[in-house]
Structure 1
Amino acid sequence: MTPSCRVCGRLLRSERWAARGIGPVCAKAAGERPAPRIPTPQPDHHVPGQTELPLPPMQHELTWSA
């Protein structure tokens, strides 16, 4: 079974458009816009000029006083 546009019935050649079920011409006519590309966030610990301070050792055992 070849995928076709659910609006006009044209053959969908791209897997991207086949997954959507609508062709690029019909999508543009319907006013659909492509999803915006969001840049990949960079980790905060790589800020230029920032000094990394050592963390204090964690307390492994809790002592309770009565």
Structure 2
Amino acid sequence: MTAPACRVCGRLLRSEKWRARGIGPVCARRTGDRPPPRIPTPTPDHHVDGQDELPLIHLQPTLWSL
């Protein structure tokens, strides 16, 4: 616990989360002092379960070479 009151307006901070940050939720919204958003880890969309990718053999004819 670092600060029992908001460092911007001086109001009492009731939550441990806001006490650790030292600023209240209202002042955080006003000043833009927010934690960065959590971005989920992307999953590869080119993989389909049950399908295997075939290796490309050197000089193998493809549709583009015909």
TM-score by length of 2: 0.52
Structure-2 separation of matches of 1:50 and 1:8: 59
Higher relative contact order, structure no. (Cα contacts within 8 Å, ≥ 6 residues apart): 2
TM-superposed deviation, 1:50: 5.0
Count of residues paired in the alignment:
50
1:14-53 pair list within 5 angstroms: 14-40=15-41, 48=48, 49=50
Structure 1: runs of 5+ lacking an equivalent: 52-66
1:9-65 alpha-carbon deviations (Å, 9 max, x no partner): 1111111110000001111111223421122466x8xx54255xxxxxxxxxxxxxx
Structure 2: runs of 5+ lacking an equivalent: 53-66
Q: CA RMSD in A?
A: 2.7
Name the counterpart of 1:54: none
Secondary structure, counterpart of 2:28 in structure 1: helix
TM-score by length of 1: 0.52
| Deviation beyond 6 Å, 4+ runs, structure 1 | none
